[in-house]
Each structure stands twice: as structure tokens, then as C-alpha cells.
Amino acid sequence: MNSDQHHSTRDRVIEVRGLRRSYGDIEAVRGVSFEVARGEVFCLLGPNGAGKTTIVEILEGYRSRTSGEATVLGLDPASGSRALHERVGIVLQQCGVQPDLTVSELVEMYGRYHVRQRSVDEVIDLVELSEKRDERAKQLSGGQRRRLDLAIALVGDPDLIFLDEPTTGFDPAARRAAWSAIKSLCELGKTIFLTTHFMDEAQFLADHVAVMRDGQIIASGRPEDLGGRDLRPAEIRFTLPAGGVSAADVPALPGEQRSVQGDRVIVTTREPVRAAQVLTTWAVDNAVDLGHFSVTQPTLEDIYLELTGSGDHNQTREEQSA
Ligand code: ATP
């Protein structure tokens, strides 16, 4: 084995090959393969029932597989190895803790179960709960409770952390706080396996996403180029000023397809830079005040809906979200 191969093997925290899991006649996972590298945030996406939880629970060692190979931190998760449990942190969707204990008491108590321990204060700080360290768990809001769950998962200083829909039910500020806590983990070199139904969360956090449907991975890659996202046409949108200028006055733009709805114009083009230049030069030269001007690429959600069959591919993105 050459040194490159050796390096890449050592840096694979999770390896899954041809994984299958059936429940009676239902084949929930149908031949899934992927790898997760050390220090990356890997995100599994997919509609309800796609098979995500089944895969996560197989990797966590809570569910058996029907066939295929799975390795987590070099060990078989089905072995029930204590060494593996020591190195893996799990944040479940619902996690019950003793409601009358304070944040710091709980983190300290769970820390005692581990050989390796991070400092209680450091962990509480990391999940941004320092101001709540002496409050009882039952007094915390839903979002604060989830961050406490995260702190409990972190106190054993795991190398790999499973986060199952970590921000479901959070308000926007709490989501941002959780994202910031998760980013801090990445900076510590932790590997994170995330499931979420929020595409903005995947976009913000993930280095690599895999999209599942009907028990199979149908696309995977960086959020920026999933499903050829980076190669898709962009949309240029603007509104025309009242009186004097009509859509027919707007010059032909490179590579464009145009849709006009009253004073709103949507131009779809694979040459957004040149098209925007022609358009803005015309507008400035002719003192045409274009309103609400924007240039956008398809979002991760656009691509996800297309891949999972939940979107109409012939609509403009605006029609889809209307
Ligand atoms: P969600 O987004 O709703 O959490 P998921 O992608 O995690 O969905 P899974 O929970 O893995 O999906 O379920 C995949 C399929 O396996 C579904 O059809 C589900 O009904 C089925 N399934 C899951 N657990 C069991 C079980 N214990 N017994 C029988 N069928 C099951």
C-alpha cells in the first residue's frame, strides 16, 4: 500500500458498502455505499421513510443490518464494542434527562460515564449555554434543551457525533446558535454525521451531502455542486419601472429564455455574468431604474426537490415557491 492509500484509509471515519436492511417484506435500505472522511460534516437528506434513520441506527450500533459492510472508526458497529461507544456521541431527536438537575450537574454526571472527558465549563461554553449553567433542565426552552443534549453528547470528547435533525422546532436565533456550536465542533476536528430536513442547514453546515430516496442514494456531492447545481442556468430577475419602458425594450441577453409577468421579468441563462453586464449597461445608459434586481443559482432545495421528485421541473423557481 502506498502512503496516499494509507492516509486515505486512516482518514475514513465511516465506510459503508452495499448496505441492506429489510423489515419483513419492506426493503428499507437497498444497497447503500458511502464514506465519511475525518473532520467533515456529512449530511444525509431524504424524504420521510427514505431510510435515513435506519442507516444512522445501524452505524450507531442500535440496529442490525441484513447484509453489506459497515465500519465506524475502524470497528464494526454491530460488535457492540465499548471502545466504539466511548468515541461516538449521539444526539437523538428526543432525549430524556433528569428534569430537576441543572445544566452543569447533568453535563458533569454524564461525563462520569466516560473514560475521556472534556471540562464541563468548556462543553457548556461550546454549546452557548453558559448563562444557563445553573438552571434546571425543566426550566430550559426547547432549543436550549437540544443544546443541552448536544453538550451531554460532547462531554465524553467523542471523535464522531451523530446529530439527528438537531434544530427541529428551533426559532431562527436558536438555529443560528446551534449552527455556530456545530461549526465550533468542526474546528475541533470532530466528524459529524447529520440528518436534517432543512436545506439551508445542509447548505450551511455540510461538506458533503447524500440524498436518499426509497432506500437508495440517488445523488451525492458537495452542496455547491449536487445534481450538477453549479452547471444549471441562473435566473436574473427584475421589475420594470412604471410607464415608458416595456419588456420588449429590454435588449436580447446572452443565452436567455425570458418570462414576463406584468412588470416582472425573469431571465433564465447559462451566461449570467455576460447577461447581467448587457442588461445593467443598457439600464444605466438609458436611465432605466430596474427594481428588485437579483441573480440567483438554483438553491440546494430546488435541486433536492427535483431529485426526490417533489418539484415540477418545468416551472421557474419562483413558480415552484409561489
Ligand atoms: P424520517 O425522515 O421520517 O425520519 P427515514 O428516512 O429516517 O424517515 P426510516 O425510519 O429509516 O426512514 O424508514 C425507512 C422505511 O423502513 C420506512 O418505510 C419505514 O416505514 C420502515 N421501517 C422503519 N423502521 C421499521 C421497523 N422497526 N419495522 C418495520 N418497518 C420499519
Select from 29, 54, 162 the residue to mutate for testing ligand 1; criterion: most ligand atoms less than 8 Å from CB.
54
**Mean of the pLDDT values across residues 172-189?**
86
**Strand 234-239, strand 264-269: pairing:** antiparallel
Computed from CA positions of residues 91, 96, 99, 105, in that sequence, does the dihedral angle turn out positive or negative? negative
**Mean of the pLDDT values across residues 195-215?**
95
DSSP three-state, residue 164: strand
Task: Note the pLDDT tens digit of each residue in 233-273.
Answer: 999 999 999 878 888 999 999 988 999 998 999 999 999 99
CA of 56 to the centre of ligand 1 (A): 11
Burial 135-156 (b: 16+ CB within 10 A, else e): eebeebeebbbbbbbbbbbbbb
Tell whether the model's pLDDT for residue 1 goes beyond 60: no
Taking CA atoms only, the protein residue closest to ligand 1 atom 29 is 23
Q: pTM here?
A: 0.83
Taking CA atoms only, the protein residue closest to ligand 1 atom 20 is 49
Q: How many helices (H) and strands (E) does the chain have?
A: 11, 13
**Mean of the pLDDT values across residues 46-65?**
94
Task: Note the pLDDT tens digit of each residue in 142-157.
Answer: 888 888 888 888 888 8
In whole numbers, what is the pLDDT of the chain averaged over residues? Answer: 88
**Mean of the pLDDT values across residues 223-232?**
86
Q: Is 54 in the pocket of ligand 1 (CB under 6 A)?
A: yes
pLDDT tier at 299 (50, 70, 90 boundaries)? very high
Taking CA atoms only, the protein residue closest to ligand 1 atom 17 is 49
What is d(CA 91, CA 80) in angstroms, rounded to the nearest whole number?
Answer: 18
CA of 53 to the centre of ligand 1 (A): 7
What is d(CA 245, CA 237) in angstroms, rounded to the nearest whole number?
Answer: 16
Residues of the chain with pLDDT > 90, as a percent, come to: 61
Q: Is 46 in the pocket of ligand 1 (CB under 6 A)?
A: yes
pLDDT tier at 185 (50, 70, 90 boundaries)? confident
What's the half-sphere exposure (Cβ side, CA atoms, 13 Å) at 48? 0
What is d(CA 287, CA 272) in angstroms, rounded to the nearest whole number?
Answer: 21
Q: Is 23 in the pocket of ligand 1 (CB under 6 A)?
A: yes
Q: Is 26 in the pocket of ligand 1 (CB under 6 A)?
A: yes
